[in-house]
């Protein structure tokens, strides 16, 4: 057997753990394989639990982000997972490996950003573990939340012939990362737009109210948050729902400054939009008769909601329609272990 982990990739590693994971406790409704695990609390309410790890020089650089922004983002990425199941986040647990050379001011800044985000979303910090790190800042946050059991939205509920929606815009975070990496914009992007992109990357705003509203009104048959990239995340939803999807490139809500930046560089903004990741909006599917109510919810909450395509019976295949030609695409978004890093669309499948 080849002993090289990079061949397995992030999702192969998850499968390694998932395939051996035991499910013996009867209170568990959903285990590995969704945005959160779900457990029954009292026959009516469910407990949602999710965890994310952020490591220095992998997920962030301390030189790019103020400590306060790191604190905010550490909480936000987890809150987004609760949002994706229609839950209400309520408690946070912080594991933090603090570099021995970290300054008090920076730790205080991190704490403030974390608190800002937790308060904004009604979450209490309930526990954690504080350790010294000889190898950079390491942050691991576990978020717990609740939802009425009948409202929990899983990745697995979509059926062929349903609408696929994106809530929020696409590509801002990836373009912001591109700027943070020190790449220059050859003109065309004003300071506000530049800031908008960078803030999208550093201070994401999870769509908790939207997720909960869709869940309460039973408007989403399946939902996932946009963390790895549209193709990757929609791919997970399709896998779990055993459906495929067709998405229309022209319907994608690409963030305007992202479009401008890409144009000025001669790049295709589509790439950032479908593979960029970390936008922390939501992708969800809706029965045809619920399209109008979904649009109304977006209007009420002032969140852009875009119909980007539909589900198909072609299990786990995502087809992208660009300029009237349709091709199956790789669902790779950001794969932490793949040697190529970000995925590229495959060649068209005949």
Rounded-to-integer distance, Cα 10 and Cα 15, Å? 9
Applying CB under 8 A, does 279 fall inside the site for a copy of itself?
Answer: no
Rounded-to-integer distance, Cα 161 and Cα 145, Å? 31
Applying CB under 8 A, does 61 fall inside the site for a copy of itself?
Answer: no
User: Which one among 66, 95, 149, 322 touches a copy of itself, defined by CB under 8 A?
Assistant: 95
Q: How many residues bind a copy of itself (CB under 8 A)?
A: 79
Rounded-to-integer distance, Cα 136 and Cα 282, Å? 31
Distances (CA, A) of 134 to 7, 55, 137: 29, 13, 9
User: Which one among 62, 91, 160, 314 touches a copy of itself, defined by CB under 8 A?
Assistant: 91
Applying CB under 8 A, does 129 fall inside the site for a copy of itself?
Answer: yes
SS3 sequence, 7-58?
A: HCHHHHHHHHHHHHCCCCCCCEEECCCCCCEEEECCCCEEEEEEEEEEEECC
Rounded-to-integer distance, Cα 32 and Cα 19, Å? 9
Cβ-based neighbours of 310, under 8 Å, separated by 6 or more: 161, 162, 163, 164, 245, 246
Applying CB under 8 A, does 90 fall inside the site for a copy of itself?
Answer: yes
Q: How far is the CB of 191 from a copy of itself (least distance, A)?
A: 31
Applying CB under 8 A, does 57 fall inside the site for a copy of itself?
Answer: yes
- 167, 80 in Cβ contact below 8 A? no
Range in contact with a copy of itself (rule: CB under 8 A) among 119-127, 182-190, 238-246, 276-284 = 119-127
User: Which one among 53, 159, 249, 265 touches a copy of itself, defined by CB under 8 A?
Assistant: 53
Distances (CA, A) of 314 to 11, 161, 319, 343: 21, 11, 10, 21
Applying CB under 8 A, does 122 fall inside the site for a copy of itself?
Answer: yes
Applying CB under 8 A, does 68 fall inside the site for a copy of itself?
Answer: no
Range in contact with a copy of itself (rule: CB under 8 A) among 37-45, 149-157, 197-205, 313-321 = 37-45
Rounded-to-integer distance, Cα 6 and Cα 340, Å? 10
Nearer to a copy of itself, 109 or 293 (CB): 109
Applying CB under 8 A, does 349 fall inside the site for a copy of itself?
Answer: no
Applying CB under 8 A, does 138 fall inside the site for a copy of itself?
Answer: yes
Of the candidates 201, 322, 206, which has an alpha carbon nearest to the alpha carbon of residue 261? Answer: 201
Which residues within the stretch 304-343 sit at the binding site for a copy of itself (CB under 8 A)?
A: 336-337
Q: What three-state secondary structure class fits 267?
A: coil
Output DSSP code: residue 187. Answer: S
Q: How far is the CB of 20 from a copy of itself (least distance, A)?
A: 6
Applying CB under 8 A, does 153 fall inside the site for a copy of itself?
Answer: no
User: Which one among 62, 66, 111, 120 touches a copy of itself, defined by CB under 8 A?
Assistant: 111
- Per-residue binder mask for a copy of itself (CB under 8 A), 208-227, x = binder: --------------------
Tokens at residue 192, please?
């506000």
User: Which one among 117, 132, 148, 326 touches a copy of itself, defined by CB under 8 A?
Assistant: 132
Burial (CB count within 10 angstroms: exposed 0-12, middle 13-18, buried 19+), residue 235: buried
Which residues within the stretch 7-26 sit at the binding site for a copy of itself (CB under 8 A)?
A: 8, 10, 13-14, 16-17, 20-25
Nearer to a copy of itself, 85 or 197 (CB): 85
User: Which one among 83, 144, 294, 318 touches a copy of itself, defined by CB under 8 A?
Assistant: 144
Rounded-to-integer distance, Cα 219 and Cα 296, Å? 11
The separation between CA 154 and the C-alpha centre of its own chain, rounded to angstroms, equals: 14
User: Which one among 131, 190, 347, 348 touches a copy of itself, defined by CB under 8 A?
Assistant: 131
Q: How far is the CB of 34 from a copy of itself (least distance, A)?
A: 8
Applying CB under 8 A, does 140 fall inside the site for a copy of itself?
Answer: yes
Applying CB under 8 A, does 64 fall inside the site for a copy of itself?
Answer: no
């Amino acid at each position: 057997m080849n002993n090289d982990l990079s061949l397995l990739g992030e999702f192969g590693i998850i499968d390694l753990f998932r395939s051996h994971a035991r499910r013996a406790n009867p209170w568990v409704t959903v285990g590995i394989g969704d945005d959160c695990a779900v457990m029954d609390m009292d026959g009516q309410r469910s407990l949602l639990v999710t965890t994310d790890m952020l490591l220095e020089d992998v997920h962030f650089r301390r030189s790019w982000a103020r400590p306060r922004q790191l604190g905010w983002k550490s909480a936000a990425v987890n809150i987004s997972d609760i949002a994706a199941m229609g839950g209400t986040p309520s408690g946070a647990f912080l594991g933090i490996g603090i570099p021995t050379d970290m300054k008090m001011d920076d730790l205080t800044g991190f704490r403030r950003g974390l608190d800002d985000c937790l308060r904004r979303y009604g979450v209490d910090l309930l526990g954690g573990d504080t350790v010294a790190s000889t190898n950079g800042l390491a942050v691991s946050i576990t978020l717990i939340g609740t939802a009425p059991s009948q409202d929990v939205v899983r990745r697995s509920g979509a059926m062929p012939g349903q609408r696929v929606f994106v809530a929020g815009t696409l590509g801002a975070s990836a373009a912001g990362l591109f700027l943070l990496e020190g790449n220059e914009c050859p003109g065309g992007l004003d300071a506000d737009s530049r800031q908008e992109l960078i803030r999208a990357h550093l201070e994401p705003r999870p769509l908790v109210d939207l997720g909960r509203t869709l869940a309460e009104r039973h408007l989403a048959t399946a939902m996932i948050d946009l963390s790895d990239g549209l193709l990757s995340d929609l791919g997970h939803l399709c896998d779990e729902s055993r459906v495929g999807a067709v998405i229309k490139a022209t319907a994608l809500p690409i963030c305007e400054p992202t479009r401008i930046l890409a144009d000025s560089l001669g790049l295709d903004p589509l790439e950032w939009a479908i593979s960029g990741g970390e936008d922390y909006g939501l992708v969800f599917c809706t029965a045809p008769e619920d399209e109008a109510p979904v649009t109304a919810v977006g209007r009420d909450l002032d969140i852009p909601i875009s119909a980007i395509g539909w589900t198909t019976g072609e299990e786990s295949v995502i087809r992208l329609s660009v300029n009237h030609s349709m091709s199956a695409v790789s669902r790779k978004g950001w794969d932490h272990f793949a040697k190529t890093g970000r995925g590229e669309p495959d060649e068209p499948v005949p």
